[in-house]
Amino acid sequence: MSDRFYTQQLEATGWCPGYRGTKTIAEYQAKFGTIRRKRKMAWTDESKAQAVEMYTAEDPTPETSMEIVKQVAEELGESPNGVRMILTKAGVYVKKAPGASASNGSAGTGGKRVSKVDAQNDLTNALSDAGQEIDEDIISKLTGKAAVYFTTIVNNINS
């Protein structure tokens, strides 16, 4: 076993067999008394109410909600996930609003998402406005991103 195992067991129980002089439970108990364990108590109604009160007193917003949860968890000696669970069940947790994702497929063009057919139709219209001959076989083989790219180029040249 690694040293980490022994130190974690020592921290959790105060005793560990075969670790730096701790031989048996009886020897440990004779020297230190009973084996101490760190045991977490379940959430009580009072502690739940206290967590909700502490959270709402900070006036949470979607941007500051997680920091407030961490503060409350630290003060109560609980995990942030446990506090968030209690707040969610109480109906007071403010979720962070989902931001704009860069993986929506149009990050390179900087615009909104457009379907392939719409992008190809826009390219066809831009080419016809420029007075160019349109080859539907080639345009139908373009991806949506390529069609949007060529549409912006054609429109920039026309203007």
pTM score of the predicted model: 0.41
Are 14 and 32 in contact, with CB atoms under 8 Å apart?
yes
Q: What is the pLDDT of residue 40?
A: 63
Q: What is the pLDDT of residue 38?
A: 52
Q: What is the pLDDT of residue 78?
A: 87
Quick one: angle between helices 80-90 and 65-76, nearest 10? Answer: 110
Are 35 and 14 in contact, with CB atoms under 8 Å apart?
yes
Q: Where are the domains of the chain?
A: 3-32, 45-90, 116-158
Q: What is the pLDDT of residue 15?
A: 67
List, in sequence order, every residue forming a beta bridge with 22; answer none if it has no partner: 19
Would you give per-residue pLDDT tens digits along the chain (159 residues)? 577 777 787 777 776 766 655 555 666 666 666 655 555 667 889 989 999 999 999 988 888 899 999 999 999 888 888 899 999 999 999 887 665 444 554 445 456 778 888 999 999 988 888 888 888 899 999 998 999 999 999 988 887
Q: What is the pLDDT of residue 87?
A: 92
Are 92 and 55 in contact, with CB atoms under 8 Å apart?
yes
